[in-house]
C-alpha cells in the first residue's frame, strides 16, 4: 500500500537555502524514489499570521512559495499542492486538537520560546497554540510521513502525542505520523553566525541565501561566509562550525557524502573551496529561478492550485465529518 506524505512551508520572509535543503529538496527526492506514494504539500498561510504580516506581501509570498515548490522539481501530476487557508477544515480540526493539547506541552515548545523571547511584547495567542494547528495540518490527511528540517522534530513529537491521546480516548481515528529528517542538511546554519539556524525571518540578509538571490549575491555571500583561521578543510562542527556548515551545504547540493567533499578539497584553500561551492549553488539556483519566472505568471499555477484545493478539500471534508461524529459534536 502506498503511503501519504504531507508537509508545509510558512510564507513569512523569503525562502532560504535552509528551506530548500532541509525540506523542499527532500520532498522532491522522496517523490522520485517512492512511486506508489501520495504527496500533499501546502503553503501554510494561516501559520504566517501568527506574527504580523502585510496583506499584499503575504498574498504574493504565498503564490511565490507554490511556484517555487514546482520550480524546484516537484512533479505536478503527483502532488496535491494547495493553500492552507483555502481548506477551512485545518482551523476546525486545529481547535478540536487544541482541546486535546495541554498548556504544559505548548509551553515546552522551543520554537515558541525562541520567537517569544525575540518579540517580548505583543505575542499573539495563536503563536502559542500554533503546534495544535500544525498537528491538524498533518492529521487531517492521515499522513504517514512528514519531511521536515530538524527544528520541527519537537512539533512532530507533539503531533504524535496528540494523535495517540485522541485515539486512546475516542478509538482509533488518526494515523500517527513519523517525521522524515534528512541525514545531511537537516539544520543549515547562518552564514555569519554558524551557531544559529539559517532563518528567513532574519533581519540581516548576509546570513542566509535566498532562493531568489542572483549570481552576484550568491557569490558575495559565500565569499563573506564566516570560517576560521585553521586553514584546513576538515568536517568539525564543534571547532570549525562555519566551514562544517559550508561542507554540509556543498554535499547536499551535489548529493554527495560529507566525506567525499572533504576528500576532494582536503588540500585546497578556503578560497578555492568557496568559489566551487558558490558556483555549484549558482548552477542549482539559477535554473530554478528561471522555471519560477515562467510559472509565477502562468495560468498553469492557478489550475494546479485549484485542483489541489478540490482534492485536499474533499479529503478534509470527509475526515472532519467523521471526526465530529466521533466526538459527539452536532446532531448526527
Active site residues: 115, 197, 200
Rounded Cα–Cα distance for residues 233 and 276 (Å): 13
Q: Radius of gyration (Cα) for the chain, nearest Å?
A: 21
Shortest Å, Cβ 257 to ligand ATP:
18
Nearer to ligand ATP, 151 or 276 (CB): 151
Instruction: Tell me which residue has cell 529538496.
Output: 25
Q: Is 136 in the site for ligand LTN (CB under 6 A)?
A: no
For residue 142, report the phi and psi dihedrals to the nearest 5 degrees: 50, 50
Of the candidate spans 92-100, 146-154, 277-285, 286-294, the one that interacts with ligand ATP by CB under 6 A turns out to be 146-154
Judged by beta carbon distances under 5 to 8 A according to partner kind, the member of ligand LTN, ligand ATP, none in contact with residue 94 is none
Contact between 139 and 177 under an 8 Å Cβ cutoff? The reply is yes
Of 10-18, 28-36, 68-76, 250-258, the segment contacting ligand ATP by CB under 6 A is 10-18
Stretch that binds ligand LTN, among 7-15, 67-75, 219-227, 229-237 (CB under 6 A): 7-15
- Measured distance CA(24)–CA(81) in Å, rounded: 13
Strand duo 79-83 + 38-43: pairing = parallel
If one asks whether residue 146 binds ligand LTN (CB under 6 A), the answer comes out as yes
222 near ligand LTN, judged by CB under 6 A:
no
Instruction: Give the distance, in angstroms, between the CA of residue 204 and the centroid of all CA atoms in the same chain.
Output: 21
For ligand LTN, the closer CB: 152 or 192: 152
Find the helix or strand (DSSP H, E) in which 147 lies: strand 145-147
Q: Rule CB under 6 A: is residue 197 a binding residue for ligand ATP?
A: yes
Q: Which residue is nearest to ligand ATP (CB)?
A: 22
We find the least distance from the C-beta atom of residue 177 to ligand LTN, in angstroms, to be 9
Segment interacting with ligand LTN (CB under 6 A) among 33-41, 69-77, 145-153, 305-313: 145-153
Which position among 127, 139, 148, 281 is part of the footprint of ligand LTN (CB under 6 A)? 148
19 binds, among ligand ATP, ligand LTN, none (CB under 5 to 8 A by kind): ligand ATP
Binding status of residue 25 toward ligand ATP by CB under 6 A: no
* C-alpha span between 275 and 257 (Å, rounded): 19
Instruction: Give the integer Cα–Cα distance in Å for 231 and 29.
Output: 34
Cβ atoms of residues 194 and 227 within 8 Å:
no
Q: Which is nearer to ligand ATP, 201 or 266 (CB)?
A: 201
Q: Is there binding between residue 149 and ligand ATP (CB under 6 A)? A: yes
93 binds ligand ATP (CB under 6 A): no
Rule CB under 6 A: is residue 244 a binding residue for ligand ATP?
no
3 state DSSP class of 180? strand
- What DSSP character marks residue 207? G
Interaction with ligand LTN in 25-84: which residues (CB under 6 A)?
44, 47
Cell of 290: 528561471
Cα–Cα nearest to 61, from 17, 14, 23: 14
Instruction: State residue 126 phi and psi, 5-degree precision.
Output: -70, -25
Residue 134 interacting partner from ligand ATP, ligand LTN, none (CB closer than 5 to 8 Å by kind): ligand LTN
Q: How many Å apart are CA 208 and CA 200, to the nearest integer?
A: 7
Please give the biggest Cα pair distance in the chain.
73
Alpha carbon 209 to its chain centroid, in Å, reads 15
Interface positions with ligand ATP (CB under 6 A): 9-10, 12-13, 18-19, 21-23, 148-149, 151-152, 186-188, 197-201
Q: Which residues form the interface with ligand LTN (CB under 6 A)?
A: 6-8, 10, 44, 47, 134, 137-138, 146, 148, 152, 155
Amino acid at each position: 500500500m502506498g503511503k501519504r506524505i504531507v508537509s508545509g512551508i510558512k510564507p513569512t520572509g523569503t525562502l532560504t537555502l535552509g528551506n530548500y535543503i532541509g525540506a523542499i529538496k527532500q520532498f522532491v527526492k522522496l517523490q522520485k524514489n517512492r512511486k506508489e506514494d501520495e504527496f500533499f504539500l501546502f503553503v501554510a498561510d494561516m501559520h504566517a499570521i501568527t506574527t504580523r504580516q502585510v496583506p499584499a506581501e503575504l498574498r504574493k509570498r504565498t503564490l511565490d512559495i507554490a511556484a517555487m515548490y514546482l520550480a524546484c522539481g516537484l512533479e505536478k501530476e503527483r502532488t496535491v499542492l494547495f493553500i492552507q487557508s483555502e481548506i477551512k477544515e485545518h482551523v476546525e480540526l486545529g481547535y478540536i486538537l487544541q482541546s486535546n493539547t495541554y498548556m504544559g506541552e505548548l509551553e515546552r515548545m522551543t520554537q515558541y520560546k525562541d520567537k517569544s523571547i525575540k518579540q517580548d511584547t505583543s505575542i499573539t495567542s495563536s503563536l502559542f497554540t500554533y503546534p495544535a494547528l500544525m498537528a491538524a495540518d498533518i492529521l487531517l490527511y492521515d499522513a504517514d510521513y512528514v519531511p521536515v528540517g530538524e527544528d520541527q522534530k519537537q512539533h512532530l513529537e507533539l503531533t504524535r502525542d496528540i494523535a495517540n491521546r485522541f485515539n486512546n480516548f475516542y478509538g482509533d481515528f488518526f494515523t500517527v505520523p513519523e517525521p522524515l529528517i534528512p541525514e545531511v542538511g537537516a539544520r543549515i546554519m547562518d552564514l555569519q553566525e554558524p551557531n544559529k539556524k539559517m532563518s528567513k525571518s532574519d533581519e540581516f540578509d548576509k546570513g542566509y541565501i535566498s532562493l531568489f538571490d542572483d549570481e552576484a549575491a550568491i557569490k558575495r555571500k559565500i565569499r563573506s561566509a564566516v570560517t576560521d583561521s585553521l586553514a584546513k578543510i576538515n568536517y568539525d562542527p564543534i571547532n570549525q562550525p562555519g566551514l562544517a556548515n559550508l561542507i554540509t551545504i556543498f554535499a547536499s547540493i551535489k548529493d554527495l557524502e560529507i566525506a567525499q567533499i572533504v576528500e576532494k578539497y582536503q588540500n585546497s584553500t578556503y578560497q578555492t573551496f568557496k568559489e566551487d561551492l558558490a558556483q555549484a549553488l549558482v548552477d542549482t539556483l539559477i535554473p530554478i529561478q528561471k522555471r519560477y519566472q515562467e510559472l509565477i505568471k502562468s495560468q498553469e499555477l492557478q489550475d494546479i492550485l485549484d485542483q489541489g484545493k478540490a482534492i485536499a478539500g474533499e479529503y478534509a471534508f470527509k475526515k472532519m465529518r467523521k471526526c465530529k461524529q466521533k466526538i459527539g459534536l452536532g446532531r448526527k
